[in-house]
Amino acid sequence: MSDAYLDYIEEISIEISDFNPIGPTAHMPLPETLPKCNNGIINIQNNDDWCFGWSVLGALHPVKVHPERNPHQLYGSFVEELNMEDIPIPVPVSTPVYKKFEENNPEISLCVYEWHNQNECLEFRYVSEKRGKEYKQVNLLVITEDDRSHYCIIKDLYKLVYNHSKHKGRKYICRYCLHVYSSEKVYSEHLPKCKGLNNTFQRP
Ligand SMILES: [Zn+2]
């Protein structure tokens, strides 16, 4: 056995001792204060580092029955659709990375939100500048804990923000500022004019 080979083994064993069996972005539970049901969230049960990609694909290809289970099986055939070039995996909470992802995937308009556990409200992490209806809208919730982060699909932003609202009937929520409209017409007029509310707390 050569010395070079021994060095190689040593290096591997160090890596294994640092290995976190849960994985940096494997499935994480929803934040404590986030409403547990009827919250509009699909929390993908991945066991790899790909929760961002799975969540984007799950948002683009909705599945009715257990959309959170077995992402490889449900969304594996769509993986080629995404251009993840120069995107670090796991995907960090980072504006330049989200911008790069949108550049790579010009048809996608991405918004990323995070639930503030203490204030029990949604905060913006990234708001797309692509505002037209021609874009495919992807809204993601990111959960961060220490240095781990995990992405979920926001299937229904209105349900997530206004979960406790007693108002029934169809409502339209602006994904750039979280204002709610009961008229589709007024909502459509607002969209191109919306300036967004970056980094502002949004209370239901
Ligand atoms: Zn708006």
Q: Helix and strand tally (H, E) in the chain?
A: 6, 7
Give residue 191's pLDDT: 86
* C-alpha 196 – ligand 1 centre gap (Å): 5
Q: Give the residue-averaged pLDDT of 102-121.
A: 92
Banded pLDDT at 167 (limits 50, 70, 90) = low
CB count, 10 Å around CB of 129? 9
Of residues 27 and 155, more confidence is placed in 155
CB count, 10 Å around CB of 139? 21
* C-alpha 76 – ligand 1 centre gap (Å): 34
Q: Give the residue-averaged pLDDT of 158-163.
A: 82
* C-alpha 92 – ligand 1 centre gap (Å): 26
Which stretch of 42-56, 77-91, 110-124, 189-203 has the lowest confidence by average pLDDT?
189-203
pLDDT greater than 70 at residue 153: yes
pLDDT greater than 70 at residue 21: no
Give residue 118's pLDDT: 82
CA atoms within 13 Å, Cβ hemisphere of 142: 25
* C-alpha 55 – ligand 1 centre gap (Å): 23
Q: Quick one: tokens of 172? A: 């339209």
Work out the end-to-end distance of the chain between its first and last CA atoms, rounded to an integer number of angstroms: 66
pTM (global) more than 0.85: no
Banded pLDDT at 132 (limits 50, 70, 90) = confident
Which stretch of 134-138, 148-152, 194-198 has the lowest confidence by average pLDDT?
194-198
Task: Note whether 204 and 121 are within 8 A (CB).
Answer: yes
pLDDT greater than 80 at residue 1: no
* C-alpha 133 – ligand 1 centre gap (Å): 14
Residue type, 79: V
* C-alpha 195 – ligand 1 centre gap (Å): 7
Banded pLDDT at 192 (limits 50, 70, 90) = confident
Beta bridge partners of 198: none
